[in-house]
Amino acid sequence: MATVKAFIRTISKKEYVNVRFRLTDGRNLQLFHKSEIKVDPSHFDVKAEKIKTKVLFNPAKRKDFDKSISDRKNLIEEIYISETDKNKLSSVWLEQAIDKQLHQEKYINDDIKHPSTFIKYIAYFIDKAPLRRDKTTGRLLANNNIQKYKATEKHLINFAKQENKEDYLFSEINIDFYHRFVLYLQKLNFTQNTVGKQIRVLKTMLNDASDINIDMKDFKVFTEEVDNVYLNEEELQRIKDLDLSNSPHLDRVRDSFLILCWTGCRYSDLDKLNEDNIENGYFTFRQQKTNTKVTIPLHTVVDEIFKKYNYQMPEPITNQRFNEYIKDVAEIAEFNSKVAITRTVGGKLKTENIKKSKLISSHTGRRSFCTNMYKQGLPTIMIMSISGHKSEKNFLKYIKIRQDEHASMMAEAWAKIYKFN
C-alpha cells in the first residue's frame, strides 16, 4: 500500500526550507517531490508532519500550512493511484504530474492551433518554449535553449528575405529547402558544427508539432571533430600564480576557471559548487544539462579558492562574458604558442595557426580536467564518474593528448613494466 510522508532537510542552514514529500510503496519504490511550501525548520514537527503545537504561531496561518501539507499528500496519492503504467514511475514523472495538476493552464494541448505557415510557426514555438519541458529531465527548458531557438529563427528570417519571401508553406520545407538553407549558412562562414547545430534546432522545432508532416530524414546534422586545446598542470599552475589583484574581475574569473579545471564541471554547474553541496570533502549535486548525479572530491586548489572567498563564491557571470575574460587571463599568462586548428568553414576545409590564448574558454576547464586525470593514469571509468560522461565515446572526445605525449606516456609505462631506462 502506498504511503506519503512530508519531511524537511534539517541539515540546511537556511531560515526557511522547502517541504519535501516521499511516496513509498513496498520496499522497491520511492518517489520524491520538492514542493514550493516553505517552513522554518525549528517550527516543523517531523513526526506529526505539521507545525509544532508548542510554537507560538498565528492560528489561521497554522491551519493553512497544515492543510497545504494534507492537500499535497492527498494529491500525490491520487496521482499515483490513477497512473496505470507503473513502469514509467520516477521522481521526475511525479514532479511533472503534480505540476500538471497545479498549473493546468501550462499544459493545454494547443498544437492544432499553431500557425499554418513555417516562419509564423517558428515564432509560435519560441513563444511557447518557456512552458516546454526537457524530455530527459522533465524540467522546464533552460534559457540558453530558448536563446538557441531565437538564433535559428533569426537565420531563417534572414534566409527568407534573401529569397524574397516573407514565409513558406510547410509543403515547401523539403530537401531542396534544406540544401539552400545549408548553403546560406556556409556563406556566412560558419563552421561545420555551427551549421549542424542550426539544423538540429530546426528539426527540434518542427518535430514538436505532431500534425506537421515534413520528411526530414535526409536533413543531415553535420558534425566534425574539432581541434580543441587543454591546459596541462604546469600551465594551470602558471594561471594560479598570476597576480591579478589590480583586476578584480579577472581575478574572480581565474579562480572560477581553476575550479572548473579541478572538478571537470560544465560552466552551467558552477553555481552548484558551493558550501551547501559540500559534505565530508565532496561535492554532490545533479548536473544541469543531463540531471546526472555526480560526487566530486574537493581538490586542494579548489579548497584554497573557497577559503579565499570564505566559502561564498561570487555569482557567475554570463558564459559569453566569462569566455572573453578568461582569454585575457590566458594572454597575461603568456600562452603565446601557435596551435594548428583544422576545421570546415564555409563548406571548405581550412587550417589556421591561432595563438593558444585565443582558444581558451570555460569548456577548456572540463577538457583539461579529463585530459590531466587521464595522463595521471586514472581509470577512464573513474574519471567518467566524476565528469558525468555516460559513454566512453563522448568522453574520449575530451582527451586532447598529442601523439608525442602518448609516446612519452607509453615509454614511461614500459620503464615501469619492463624495468629499463
Helix, coil or strand: residue 402:
coil
Question: Which grid coordinates are listed for 163?
Answer: 529569397
Is residue 355 within 8 Å of 337, Cβ to Cβ?
A: yes
- Which of 289, 379, 369, 361 lies closest to 324, judged by CA? 361
Q: φ and ψ at 235, to 5 degrees? A: -70, -35
Q: Residue 273 is placed in which grid cell?
A: 559548487
pLDDT at 54: 83
pLDDT at position 420 is: 63
The DSSP element (H or E) to which 2 belongs, if any, is strand 2-7
Please state whether the predicted TM-score (pTM) of the whole model is above 0.75.
Answer: no
Structural domain boundaries in the chain: 2-105, 111-207, 233-418
Q: Which three cell numbers stand for residue 110?
A: 494547443
Q: Is 419 exposed, middle or buried (0-12, 13-18, 19+ CB in 10 A)?
A: exposed
The arrangement of secondary structure in 233-418, i.e. its CATH architecture, is: Orthogonal Bundle (1.10)
Phi, psi (deg, nearest 5) at residue 327: -70, -35
Average pLDDT per block of 10 residues along the chain, 421 residues long: 84 77 85 90 89 82 88 88 77 86 65 77 88 68 84 95 93 94 92 92 86 85 82 95 94 96 92 85 86 89 93 86 95 92 82 91 93 89 88 78 74 78 57
355/15 Cα distance (integer angstroms) = 50
**What is the rounded distance in angstroms from the CA atom of residue 202 to the CA atom of residue 200?**
5
pLDDT at 139: 67
- Grid cell digits, residue 369: 580536467
Distance, CA of 356 to CA of 364 (rounded, Å)? 11
pLDDT value, residue 111? 47
Q: What CA–CA distance (Å, rounded) separates 131 from 315?
A: 26
